[in-house]
Structure 1
């Protein structure tokens, strides 16, 4: 986690800790990585719903780990449980800095956005 990832840098607050929008972006990336290899070439997934609780502050210099687990597949929607932990610069491991649910829809690349 660098200065560029702080609430100050992204404009979501005035303290130098991990910005919630950055945490959510990393969680979304984890959902993409969780299913990308299984997706048909002509398809992709897009985010349609995010419900995340950012529970603990993360200081600059911490190492953040995000994860995503598929919990449901319903037609063209995939639901994920997501979470994040960090290892502080001191070496202390903090679990559960963020938890939540993200839903992605499967769409055809060629027709999406037309």
Structure 2
């Protein structure tokens, strides 16, 4: 796949990324919510590059992953998003994450393009009476 259809983000696992710190478990391993956020970050950055329009952004609407291997404190983790298709406003991604020992998670993610200002106003006014 061409370079524009793939984007990766790398982090070093810090204390705040651990399951015990995030409240998603009791162990000192990379938390699944952190893996999800990292994958979504890669997909969002890739979608923004594809959109190339300052008035538009994307919002996540679905993510489904399988987190299959633990990663300890201090390790580096790379999440990659691969754009599989664009259908109108819908962006469909394959996402995966790896540490130096191999794949730790894999799944799919969908984002939808929205007009940034309009979407933000809708959210800000959601509870106005």
- TM-score normalised to the size of structure 1? 0.91
Alignment map for 1:84-103 (pairs within 5 Å): 84-87=97-100, 94-103=101-110
Task: Give the structure with the larger helix fraction.
Answer: 2
Alignment map for 1:1-114 (pairs within 5 Å): 1-39=13-51, 40-87=53-100, 94-113=101-120, 114=122
User: C-alpha distance in 2, partners of 1:43/1:101?
Assistant: 22
User: C-alpha distance in 1, partners of 2:106/2:18?
Assistant: 19
CA shift, 1:99, in A, is: 0.2
CA shift, 1:86, in A, is: 0.5
Q: CA RMSD in A?
A: 0.9
Partners of 2:47 and 2:91 within 8 A in 1? no
CA shift, 1:98, in A, is: 0.4
Aligned length: 108
CA shift, 1:37, in A, is: 2.3
- Runs of at least 5 residues in structure 1 that lack an aligned partner in the other structure: 88-93
SS for the counterpart of 2:118 is coil
CA shift, 1:71, in A, is: 0.4
User: C-alpha distance in 2, partners of 1:3/1:97?
Assistant: 19
- TM-score normalised to the size of structure 2? 0.81
Moved >6 Å (runs of 4+) = none
- Give the aligned partner of residue 90 of structure 1: none
- Runs of at least 5 residues in structure 2 that lack an aligned partner in the other structure: 1-12, 123-129
User: C-alpha distance in 2, partners of 1:84/1:60?
Assistant: 16
